[in-house]
């Protein structure tokens, strides 16, 4: 018989281990519980808490700052840093690829020469300033009006004044969400529930991660190793079956692709440092630059063969256009990983 309820209760599983139906249900419940707890508590309490710092997208600090915000017995440490909203690097990289294609197709016309394309040894080369300018302009254009701030709850101050990091506090065995309480109010009671909620979800997620790794190892054993195409393993129980689907995929970070070309040289050139290709090419022509780059394992014969960098008498540096395109293609391939998905069906 249906009955009215005024609260939701969620019980934290003591552990999630062993290939049992209880473990699979605990994993499946995590997504539902996280959605409810975040929407009802976390996303309601944090906006007014963060507003107490005095900073917002319209009032940004010049550098990262920390503020301690007391709410009842809890004192939260909030970090605020000026930031630029994440740009669509995929659009920048897509545009850069189209630009390279245009230069290759139009290299015989005068406009391409005005854009800094020259032919050396029968191959088109492009002015490094042109390439850097293209990336810089597109980044600037996409960032206009995107400035803001980022708030991060670092944790609470313990009795001794030391920071207890978010997710490292004690988690309640049962978390209760009341339909009669507005968790968007900065009250002592809400502060306690909010802190409990953060640790509750962190602990559940930790236990779920351990179980997902256990299932992954078992599924790979059943499949005889990592699959080359999407495969699923069925775990049947009384009345239901849980499916673990594994799919090989690649993940491309377009921000990383952008930095592969542009990341500047640091104050100290370290071995294997993450430096963009274009800054490396510039450093290559400094006195002792090539020797330094090779000594620090930052360039090799393949790098030189791709770009064939050359410096003209007027100081302009040119690189092989096809080499830039090849590097872009290589960087866009991304890193392989195994995507895991779980779902349940009645049998």
**Residue 70 and residue 103 in one domain:** no
Residue 93 lies in a domain: yes
pLDDT in tens, 240-254: 999 999 999 999 999
Place of tokens 């390279």: 100
**Residue 66 and residue 101 in one domain:** no
Under 8 Å between Cβ of 81 and 64? yes
Q: How many Cβ atoms sit within 10 Å of the Cβ of residue 270?
A: 11
Residue 217 lies in a domain: no
**Residue 67 and residue 166 in one domain:** yes
Distant-in-sequence, close-in-space partners of 212: CB < 8 Å, separation ≥ 6 = 27, 340
Domain encompassing residue 17: 7-85+146-211
Gyration radius (Cα) of the chain, Å: 27
Q: What is the pLDDT of residue 112?
A: 47
What's the mean pLDDT in 322-342? 94
pLDDT in tens, 1-28: 899 989 999 999 999 999 999 999 999 9
**Residue 135 to residue 325: CA distance in whole angstroms:** 14
**Residue 123 and residue 242 in one domain:** yes
**Residue 116 and residue 205 in one domain:** no
**Residue 197 and residue 344 in one domain:** no
Structural domains of the chain, count: 2
pLDDT in tens, 207-259: 999 999 999 999 999 999 999 999 999 999 999 999 999 999 999 999 999 99
**Residue 153 to residue 126: CA distance in whole angstroms:** 47
CA proximity to 91, closest of 250, 333, 255, 264: 255
Residue 1 lies in a domain: no
**Residue 231 and residue 301 in one domain:** yes
Sheet with 231-236, strands from edge to edge, namely 231-236, 240-251, 335-346
What is the reported pTM?
A: 0.75
């Amino acid at each position: 018989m249906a009955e009215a309820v005024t609260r939701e209760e969620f019980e934290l599983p003591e552990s999630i281990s062993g290939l049992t139906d209880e473990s699979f249900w605990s994993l499946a419940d995590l997504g539902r519980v996280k959605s409810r707890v975040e929407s009802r508590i976390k996303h309601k309490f944090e906006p007014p808490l963060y507003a107490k710092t005095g900073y917002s997208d319209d009032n940004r600090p010049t550098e990262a700052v920390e503020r301690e915000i007391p709410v009842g017995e809890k004192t939260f440490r909030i970090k605020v840093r000026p930031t630029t909203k994440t740009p669509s690097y995929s659009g920048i990289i897509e545009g850069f690829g189209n630009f390279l294609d245009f230069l290759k197709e139009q290299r015989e016309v005068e406009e391409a020469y005005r854009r800094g394309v020259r032919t050396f040894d029968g191959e088109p080369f492009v002015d490094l300033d042109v390439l850097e300018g293209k990336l810089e302009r597109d980044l600037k254009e996409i960032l206009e009006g995107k400035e803001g701030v980022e708030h991060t709850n670092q944790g609470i101050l313990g009795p001794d004044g030391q920071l207890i990091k978010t997710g490292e506090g004690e988690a309640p065995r049962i978390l209760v969400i009341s339909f009669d309480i507005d968790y968007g109010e900065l009250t002592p009671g809400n502060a306690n529930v909010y802190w409990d909620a953060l640790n509750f979800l962190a602990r559940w997620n930790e236990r779920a991660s351990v179980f997902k790794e256990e299932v992954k190892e078992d599924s790979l054993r059943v499949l005889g190793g990592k699959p080359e195409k999407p495969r699923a393993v069925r775990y049947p129980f009384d009345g239901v079956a849980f499916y673990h689907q594994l799919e090989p995929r690649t993940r491309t970070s377009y921000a990383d692709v952008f930095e592969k070309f542009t990341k500047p040289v640091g104050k100290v050139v370290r071995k294997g440092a993450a430096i963009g290709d274009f800054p490396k090419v510039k450093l290559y022509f400094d006195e002792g630059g090539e020797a330094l780059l090779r000594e620090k394992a930052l360039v090799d014969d393949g790098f030189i063969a791709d770009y064939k960098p050359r410096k003209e008498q007027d100081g302009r540096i040119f690189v092989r256009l096809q080499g830039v395109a090849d590097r872009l293609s290589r960087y866009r391939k991304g890193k392989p990983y195994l995507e895991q998905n779980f779902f349940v069906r009645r049998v």
